[in-house]
Amino acid sequence: MVSIRLVATDLDGTLLNSDRAVSSRTAAAMAAASEVGIVVVWATARAQHSVHTLAASCGFRGFAVAANGAVLLDLADGTPKVIDVQPLPTHIAHETMSRVRALVPGTVFAAVGPTRFVADPDYAALCEFTDHHRDPATMELSDSSVLDTEPIVKIVARHPDVTSENLFRTVAAAGMPQVTPTHSGAPYLEMAADGVTKASGLSRLCAQWGIDPSEVAACGDAINDLPMLLWAGLALCPANAAADTLAVADTILPSNDDHGVATYLESLVTLV
């Protein structure tokens, strides 16, 4: 039987409870796993700033696969250091936005970088703080959704009348060359460079550390977790996960509100 050396976990809907917080039990389980040599990696659609806030809240000092695999962060010193970026070329981002607008008229966009977020004014008007952990009233705005000082790592899209899941499924069915569309359960569609997923981000980290996919357990609850769940040796889902992810799970854990990830980490620690 292959030993699990690394546990990769999604945040929202998986590691975090319904209050979007890391419980004290979960924080203790992550620390205990680290103490016995089990690597815990966060794998999330979130950006650097919100990863930092969460890490500070629970003392997490590991690595994070952020922006659905486009950005790798090292939090060893308590601040998120960007160690790798997989950019979405600007011309491809603009071509993709034009194709999606033609496919679903009325769609609006924002461009996401390793540290910046620039939204169409109409995109910001649809936002709440919890969508991107940014105040819509102070969002950086641009009609062209361009980042001029750092690369784009993904574009996000939403529509005033079409649900984000329906927008995702429409775009995915149509096919978008040179981008990877996905959906995290948030109220927007996300698109990164072709082939960039949580799985590709984890793969880059594991290659550096000499960890085989068979030695990785991955846990997630949404469509954007599917590549990671299929790549890892063991696919875990909390009981509250979407049907798409539950269908590929090797093991179903208690829900996020019932400390599912903590339960699994605790079981690993007892085996060491």
pLDDT-based confidence at 185, cuts 50/70/90?
very high
The token duo for 8 is: 């990769």
For the chain, domains (ranges, CATH) are 6-86+197-271 (3.40.50.1000), 90-193 (3.30.1240.10)
Query: What is the mean pLDDT of the segment spanning 218-239?
Result: 98
Percent of the chain past pLDDT 70, that is, above it, reads 100
Q: pLDDT of 139-182, one tens digit each? A: 999 987 778 889 999 999 999 999 999 999 999 999 999 999 99
Percent of the chain past pLDDT 90, that is, above it, reads 95
Helix (H, G, I), strand (E, B) or coil at 110: strand
Instruction: Give residue 148's pLDDT.
Output: 81
In whole angstroms, what is the distance from residue 72 CA to residue 48 CA? Answer: 9
Nearest to 261 by CA among 98, 57, 25: 25
Instruction: Give residue 1's pLDDT.
Output: 56
Instruction: Give residue 177's pLDDT.
Output: 93
* pLDDT exceeds 70 at position 192: yes
Q: What is the DSSP string of 155-215?
A: EEEE-SSS-HHHHHHHHHHH--TTEEEE--SSSSEEEEETT-SHHHHHHHHHHHHT--GGG
Q: pLDDT of 30-83, one tens digit each? A: 999 999 999 999 999 999 999 999 999 999 999 999 999 999 999 999 989 999
Instruction: Give residue 88's pLDDT.
Output: 96
DSSP annotation of 152: -
Q: pLDDT of 240-257, one tens digit each? A: 999 999 999 999 999 999
- In degrees and rounded to multiples of 5, residue 202 shows phi and psi of -60, -40
Instruction: Give residue 146's pLDDT.
Output: 73
Torsion angle in degrees (nearest 10) through CA of 184, 212, 60, 133: -20
* pLDDT exceeds 70 at position 237: yes
pLDDT-based confidence at 229, cuts 50/70/90?
very high
Query: What is the mean pLDDT of the segment spanning 181-210?
Result: 98
